[in-house]
Amino acid sequence: MILVLAGTKEGREMAEMLSGLNFPVIASTVTDYGGKLLEGKAKARTGPLDRELLESFIREKNVELVIDATHPFASKISLNAIEACKNAKIKYMRYEREDMGKYCFPGVIRVENFDEAVSEALKYERIFLTIGSKNLDRFAALKKQGKHIIARVLPTSEVLKKCEHLGFLPGEIIAMEGPFSVDMNYCMFKDYKADVVVTKDSGPGGGVVEKLRAAVKLNVPVIMVKRPAVDYPLVARSIEEVLEEIRKGES
């Protein structure tokens, strides 16, 4: 059995592709929404998995390979998966989407982490966040210092409740699912009069290129948070590399 930790679009596509090739595969998603996207395409289980639950699931389902296709910033999940695979004595493989290292855009301010991003954002008045909901609390604190913050987040009740709890008003929330085109980003950045955009290095697959192109058109700087460093034991960067590793295990 192959377990795909499908925390991204690529992860869901990976599970669907492997299922279509008749590999025994099950995908794990944190949210019910992620599971619904896989309905009729691949077997799925939903809900969070800590290390102990993951290790138990591996043994229960006789998993022989874990493909970690979670988001580049979901480092805790990856570390748990690496440890669980080590304990269960099975193979772990990271499917890593491309980062923004080879792309060069003017006005990009690269920072090591979200604390540095907050410090850098303090220099601006109107801050447009495209970082998801996990680290919103760090930036919400800037509202008390008179900063105007716009948060673009997923349109789920859980996320919207979090935004409201943090003090975001309806006019400060854009609840839409991305990734967005250059034109859509341009209109949003312009209409909300963004002085700076904050994003994270989710790579081209996460819509970062489109954000940067829109920001360049408006001459708006972009604060980009670097990916957390994880020492993955095995990394694949393409579908072909994943299939090659799977077939190695069959031979």
The stretches in the chain having pLDDT less than 50 are none
Report pLDDT for 249. 66
Residue 103 in domain: no
**Domain contains 21:** yes
Question: How many CB atoms are located within 10 Å of the residue 46 CB?
Answer: 15
Q: Which amino acid is at 220?
A: V
- Look up residue 84 and give its amino acid: A
Q: Examine the domain organization and report whether 115 and 159 are in the same domain.
A: yes
pTM score, two decimals? 0.87
Tell whether 147 and 66 lie within a shared domain. Answer: no
Q: Are residues 74 and 135 in the same domain?
A: no
Tell me if 185 is assigned to some domain. yes
Long-range pairs of 235-240 with CB within 8 A, sequence gap ≥ 24: 235/93, 235/94, 235/95, 235/96, 236/93, 236/94, 236/95, 236/96, 237/95, 237/96, 237/98, 239/14, 239/17
Whether 148 and 242 share a structural domain? no
How would you label 178-209 residue by residue, b for 16+ Cβ within 10 Å and e otherwise? bbbebebbbebbeebebbbbbbbbbbeebbbb
Based on the domain organization, do 66 and 80 belong to the same domain?
A: yes
- For residue 14 the two structure tokens come to 């990976």
Q: Are residues 53 and 144 in the same domain?
A: no
Do 210 and 235 lie in one domain? The reply is: no
Q: Examine the domain organization and report whether 55 and 150 are in the same domain.
A: no
Q: Do both 131 and 79 map to the same domain? A: no
Q: How many angstroms separate the CA atoms of 117 and 98, rounded? A: 22
Q: Are residues 117 and 218 in the same domain?
A: yes
Kindly report the CATH number assigned to the domain that includes residue 115.
Answer: 3.40.50.620
Q: Identify whether residues 124 and 86 lie together within a single domain.
A: no
Total domains in the fold of the chain:
2
Domain that holds residue 198: 108-225
Relative to beta strand 25-29, strand 173-175 is: unpaired
pLDDT single digits (tens) 228-244: 989 999 999 888 899 98
114 lies in the same domain as 219 = yes
Q: What is the CATH number of the domain that holds 10?
A: 3.40.50.720
